[in-house]
């Protein structure tokens, strides 16, 4: 299993010594490990029993504070801290590695969260050679992953502090969604999305780079890529749609949206764009959907876009858009469709 996040302890893990009792020094080579994991697009956080301000000041002194998202530094059970980090990052628990020097703490977390990967911190110098920390591709988006999450943190903070209707807040984000045909240069990121995305994934099917290269040269298929930007910056390439073009219909073989877009309803917006384009060509539009333990949010997106189940083939449900009306976009987002040409 590829890890999306490493949650570190601090005392005798990131540094040698116990912060509350003595001067501490960084573990040999730990800075290089943290920096390289960050370059690979692997998120990092902290679950430590310490005083928050003192620990964060020490991390800042060591030049490492900026690498850790949603740090949980308190006196609570570490399993509780891990649960909060997971919720904030909105990623699957089985893609998180928990690193601690104390067997008791690792066991406490593992007992309460069986699906997590726990690792003795004494192995930290091995991390960069472990397969679970070696993504197949390191794309432009994966290299910016922490930066994009930091933008999300600012978005969430501003939204929580905003006084007024949610739609007013969304309107002032200046969101723009771009949809264009995939080019060969997009395919590493597309493959990465098929591997990493589970909540907003219509079938869970993985397509390799070679599969995708074959698809974009096949006239019976269309592969589109979506990018979302707002006033805080770019979310990156956050979604893909693979359609099989038949005589009377478009059939969506795969629809994936980054889980970072769940609260913005982008999956439904993309479906509305596809519906409108198919109807302009005089085609019906159907979709294949395979229910998993994690992809209910994608099914909800289909339902909001007026798709209903019309057929079942083993574990695949065939959905069809039952509306013939033009689908309207929310007022808070501008959509730039370019279905026929590459960007």
Given a cut of 80, whether residue 340 has pLDDT beyond it is no
Output Rg (C-alpha) for the chain, integer angstroms: 22
CATH superfamily of the domain spanning 140-342: Gcn5-related N-acetyltransferase (GNAT) (3.40.630.30)
| Distance separating alpha carbons of residues 274 and 107, to the nearest angstrom | 48
Angle at 145 (CA atoms; ends 14, 64), nearest 5 degrees: 25
Angle at 147 (CA atoms; ends 166, 3), nearest 5 degrees: 105
Count of helix runs (H) and strand runs (E) in the chain: 11, 15
pTM over 0.75: yes
Assess contact for 1 and 134: CB atoms under 8 A.
no
Residue with tokens 């964060």: 56
Of 105, 100, 8, nearest to 62 (Cα)?
8
What strand order describes the sheet that includes 117-120?
A: 72-74, 43-49, 5-8, 96-100, 117-120
Q: Give the mean model confidence (pLDDT) for residues 107-128.
A: 98
> Start-end ranges of CATH 3.40.630.30 in the chain?
140-342
Assess contact for 199 and 294: CB atoms under 8 A.
yes
Residue 88 φ then ψ, to 5°: -65, -40
DSSP annotation of 92 = -
Which distant-in-sequence residues (6+ apart) come within 8 Å of 164 by Cβ? none
3-state helix, strand, coil in the chain (%, to 5): 40, 30, 30
DSSP H helices in the chain: 30-39, 52-61, 78-89, 103-112, 140-143, 145-161, 166-171, 187-196, 209-216, 266-280, 296-304
Span 69-102, pLDDT tens digits = 999 999 999 999 999 999 999 888 999 999 999 9
Looking at residue 343, what is its pLDDT?
56
How far, in whole angstroms, is CA 340 from its chain's centroid? 27
Q: Give the mean model confidence (pLDDT) for residues 248-259.
A: 93
Find the helix or strand (DSSP H, E) in which 339 lies.
Answer: strand 333-342
How do strand 333-342 and strand 175-181 relate by DSSP bridges?
A: parallel
Two structure tokens written together for 21: 């009792």
143 vs 57, more confident: 57
| Distance separating alpha carbons of residues 215 and 84, to the nearest angstrom | 40
Of 41, 47, 32, nearest to 86 (Cα)?
47
Looking at residue 80, what is its pLDDT?
98
Give percent of the chain with pLDDT exceeding 90.
Answer: 83
In the predicted model, what is the mean pLDDT of the chain? 94
Looking at residue 217, what is its pLDDT?
93
Q: Give the mean model confidence (pLDDT) for residues 229-237.
A: 94
| Distance separating alpha carbons of residues 200 and 299, to the nearest angstrom | 8
Q: How confident is the model at residue 142 (pLDDT cuts 50, 70, 90)?
A: confident
> Start-end ranges of CATH 3.40.50.1000 in the chain?
5-133
CATH superfamily of the domain spanning 5-133: HAD superfamily/HAD-like (3.40.50.1000)
Of 325, 331, 257, 244, nearest to 288 (Cα)?
244
DSSP annotation of 108 = H
Find the helix or strand (DSSP H, E) in which 178 lies.
Answer: strand 175-181
Q: Give the mean model confidence (pLDDT) for residues 284-309.
A: 93
Q: How confident is the model at residue 342 (pLDDT cuts 50, 70, 90)?
A: low
Of 215, 42, 227, nearest to 127 (Cα)?
42
For the stretch 213-239, what's the b/e string if a residue is b when 16 or more beta carbons lie within 10 angstroms of its beta carbon? eebbeeeebbbbbbbbbbebebbbbbb
């Amino acid at each position: 299993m590829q890890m999306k996040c490493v949650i570190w302890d601090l005392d005798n893990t990131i540094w040698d010594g116990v912060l509350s009792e003595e001067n501490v020094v960084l573990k040999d080579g730990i800075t290089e490990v943290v920096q390289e994991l960050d370059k690979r697009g692997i998120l990092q956080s902290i679950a430590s029993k310490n005083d928050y301000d003192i620990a964060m000041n020490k991390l800042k002194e060591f030049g490492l504070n900026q690498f850790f998202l949603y740090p949980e530094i308190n006196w609570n059970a570490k399993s509780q801290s891990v649960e909060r980090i997971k919720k904030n990052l909105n990623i699957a628990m089985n893609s998180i590695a928990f690193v601690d020097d104390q067997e008791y703490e690792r066991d406490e977390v593992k007992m309460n969260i069986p699906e997590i990967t726990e690792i003795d911190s004494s192995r930290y110098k091995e991390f960069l050679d472990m397969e679970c920390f070696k993504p197949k591709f390191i794309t432009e988006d994966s290299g910016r992953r922490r930066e994009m999450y930091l933008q999300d943190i600012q978005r969430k903070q501003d939204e929580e502090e905003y006084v007024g209707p949610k739609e007013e807040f969304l309107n002032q984000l200046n969101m723009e969604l771009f949809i264009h045909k995939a080019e060969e240069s997009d395919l590493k990121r597309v493959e990465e999305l098929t591997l990493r995305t589970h909540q907003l994934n219509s079938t869970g099917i993985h397509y390799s780079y070679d599969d995708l290269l074959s698809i974009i040269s096949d006239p019976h298929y269309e592969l589109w890529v979506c990018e979302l930007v707002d006033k805080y910056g770019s979310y990156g390439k956050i979604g893909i749609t693979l359609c099989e073009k038949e005589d009377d219909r478009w059939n969506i073989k795969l629809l994936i949206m980054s889980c970072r877009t769940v609260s913005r309803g982008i999956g439904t917006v993309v479906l509305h764009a596809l519906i409108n384009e198919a109807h302009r060509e005089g085609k019906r539009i159907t979709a294949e959907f395979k229910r998993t333990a994690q992809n209910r949010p994608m099914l909800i997106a289909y339902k909001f876009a007026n798709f209903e189940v019309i057929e079942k083939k083993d574990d695949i449900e065939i959905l069809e858009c039952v509306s013939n009306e033009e689908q309207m976009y929310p007022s808070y987002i501008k959509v730039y469709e370019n279905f026929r040409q590459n960007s």
